[in-house]
A = this chain, B = another copy of it.
Amino acid sequence: MSEIVPVILCGGSGTRLWPRSRATCPKPFLPLIGKETIFEATLARCAPFAAPVIVTGTAHLDHVEAQLGSGGARILVEPQARNTAAAIALAALRLPADAVMLVCPSDHHIGNPQAFAEAARKAAALAQQGWLVSFGIEATAPETGYGYLKRGEMLGDLGFRTAQFVEKPDLEKAKAFLAEGGYSWNGGIFAFSVARFLEELETHCPDVLGPVREAVSSGSEDGARFHPDSAAFARAESISVDYAVMERTDRAALVPADMDWSDIGSWESLHAARDKDGLGNSVRGKVELVDCRRVLVESDGPRVSVIGLEGVVIVVDGDEVLVTTMEGAQKVGKLDGAANQ
């Protein structure tokens, strides 16, 4: 069996959990659930595998290095963000051709790390057989914020061929998927053989691979950090790995994963992932609740007193206060404060 190398993608600005998550310290680097940061928890659940490769930008490098610990990780520093296809290509070109990459976003919560590790081993086995493998996340609600994967034929006892990639559906479609069964959420977690991934990228998206290859050959090492050449990297097409490879290959597979997953994509989903009291309330900091249900309240300083509210999020962070309904939390990224950081 090949080495399984976690490739952890640390990008993104995290406006949807503003004002807690800010451009200067986004979601992965905050202890949003439990005491570890989301990035630390990601590292911890990848610990059963080889030392990880972290792909990140200069903006987050300090956070990454401060939280990385002593696991022998390597860091690939993107001169600028060029989306996931380029980020994964960068990692692939720095790894042995026979390794299997386990590609993980750094800003997801997984409540059951053991189920993650089991799914990762199955995915790696399929990847070694030449499949490009997505984690097919157990769909537990008719979510309209995720793409869906439709299962095709079984691939032994490891997983399924991916019959179809479905863009974010409307509510009616999402409900139909759930009722029909055989659909999973596409959470952006993958397993690829390095060699196979590069072949597919060469075939389907040479405008990513060419520039990144050039950026790597002209790059420079600096201890555990590797800096690809900035000018070359900038020429890579900015495209997601889903569009660049997964939807174009005829070797897409999925491994079902029921692992208490959340992308913590809004204050509503953070509330869902957090421990709560018997009335569904989750609080952090100095908080007094009277007649409240299903509220999330957190404060980094001032006391927050709340009376009579249900389904509301209240966040006090330095010079910003956010108060939103759970439903309204979708609009947080568009607030003046979040948009103009």
Contacts of A321 in B (CB 8 A): 299, 302-305, 314, 316, 321
Known A288-B336, A299-B321: A328·B305 in contact at CB below 8 Å: no
- Contact residues of A between 303 and 341, Cβ < 8 Å to B: 303-309, 312, 314, 316, 318-325, 327-329, 331-332, 334-337
Inter-chain contact A308/B325, CB cutoff 8 Å: yes
Contacts of A172 in B (CB 8 A): none
Contacts of A334 in B (CB 8 A): 290
A52 to chain B, nearest CB (A): 36
Contacts of A19 in B (CB 8 A): 305
Contacts of A48 in B (CB 8 A): none
Known A302-B319, A319-B301, A320-B302: A307·B290 in contact at CB below 8 Å: no
Known A318-B302, A319-B302: A307·B324 in contact at CB below 8 Å: yes
A238 to chain B, nearest CB (A): 30
Alpha-carbon distance between A92 and B309 when the two chains are bound, in angstroms = 48
Tell yes or no: A291 within 8 A of B by CB. yes
Contacts of A328 in B (CB 8 A): 290-291, 307-309
Alpha-carbon distance between A306 and B309 when the two chains are bound, in angstroms = 14
Contacts of A301 in B (CB 8 A): 319
Q: How many copies does the complex hold?
A: 2
Contacts of A306 in B (CB 8 A): 322-324
Contacts of A309 in B (CB 8 A): 312, 323-325, 328
Inter-chain contact B323/A314, CB cutoff 8 Å: yes
A305 to chain B, nearest CB (A): 5
Interface centre among A19, A322, A323, A331 (most CB of B within 10 A): A323
Alpha-carbon distance between A331 and B302 when the two chains are bound, in angstroms = 20
Say which residue of B302, B318, B323, B327 sits within 8 Å of A304 (CB atoms): B323
Inter-chain contact B335/A319, CB cutoff 8 Å: no
0/1 interface trace, chain A 282-303, chain B, CB 8 Å (1 if under): 0000001011000000010111
Alpha-carbon distance between A307 and B324 when the two chains are bound, in angstroms = 5
Inter-chain contact B337/A320, CB cutoff 8 Å: no
Inter-chain contact B319/A307, CB cutoff 8 Å: no
Say which residue of B308, B320, B323 sits within 8 Å of A307 (CB atoms): B323
Say which residue of B307, B318, B322, B324 sits within 8 Å of A329 (CB atoms): B307
Alpha-carbon distance between A75 and B323 when the two chains are bound, in angstroms = 44
Contacts of A303 in B (CB 8 A): 319-321, 336-337
Contacts of A327 in B (CB 8 A): 308
Inter-chain contact B325/A288, CB cutoff 8 Å: no
Query: Interface residues, chain A, CB within 8 Å of chain B?
Result: 19, 288, 290-291, 299, 301-309, 312, 314, 316, 318-325, 327-329, 331-332, 334-337
